[in-house]
């Protein structure tokens, strides 16, 4: 099994601690005036979602996580279960609402997604960076309210709500950034 030395530590690294996969979400190199340098790391458990704070000294190493990302297509939702299909093998994967987390806000049938597998078991999904969603409901804009950066809650076809500019109307298609959940632009139809 491959391993990473402290000199390889960086944000986004996938490592294995006590048999479970972790994502390095933060890594700080600290060199005090006296003594040895050390690495302060914040690691997120990819299965349970909890976060660990660990400190490693120079020369330590961590085992690489046996994770694989595959391209899939979102098929449908059945209660609290989301079903995806591997584009290459046509194998279907079922993920729970906890595994999908906030990703449900962006999922439309037929949408391409990436699933992370740990030991052939699906762990998390990653939707595309930006998605286009149709507006199902929003309050009408107030007349004369032309101040910049005025936003309102907008409900989209997936059932999620996002803050969008006041000029957005029912039936518009909006582009949303899935990494931040923020409005990007109105899509011309």
Residue 1 confidence (pLDDT) above 80: no
Contacts 24+ apart (CB under 8 A), 149-152: 151/183
pLDDT value of position 83: 93
Instruction: Report pTM.
Output: 0.74
Average pLDDT of the chain? Answer: 88
pLDDT value of position 8: 87
User: Please, are residues 109 and 150 in contact by the beta-carbon 8 Å criterion?
Assistant: no
Q: Structural domains in the chain?
A: 3-64 (2.30.30.30), 67-126 (2.40.50.140), 130-187 (2.40.50.140)
Q: For the segment 5-62, what is each residue's pLDDT rounded down to a tens digit?
A: 888 888 888 899 988 899 888 999 888 888 888 899 999 888 887 899 999 988 889 9
């Amino acid at each position: 099994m491959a391993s990473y030395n402290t000199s390889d530590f960086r944000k986004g690294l996938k490592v294995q601690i006590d048999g479970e996969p972790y994502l390095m979400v933060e890594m700080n190199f600290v060199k005090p005036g006296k003594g040895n340098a050390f690495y302060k790391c914040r690691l997120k458990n990819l299965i349970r979602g909890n976060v660990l704070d660990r400190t490693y000294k120079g020369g330590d190493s961590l085992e690489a996580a046996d994770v694989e990302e595959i391209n899939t297509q979102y098929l449908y939702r059945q209660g609290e279960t989301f079903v995806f299909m591997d584009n290459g093998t046509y194998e279907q994967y079922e993920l729970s609402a906890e595994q999908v987390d906030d990703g449900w806000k962006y999922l439309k049938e037929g949408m391409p997604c990436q699933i992370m597998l740990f030991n052939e078991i699906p762990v998390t999904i990653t939707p595309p960076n930006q998605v286009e969603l149709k507006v199902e409901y929003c309050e009408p804009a107030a007349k004369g309210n032309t101040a910049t950066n005025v936003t309102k809650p907008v409900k989209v076809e997936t059932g999620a709500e996002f803050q969008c500019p006041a000029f957005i109307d029912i039936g518009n298609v909006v582009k949303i950034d899935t990494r931040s959940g923020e409005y990007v632009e109105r899509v011309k139809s």
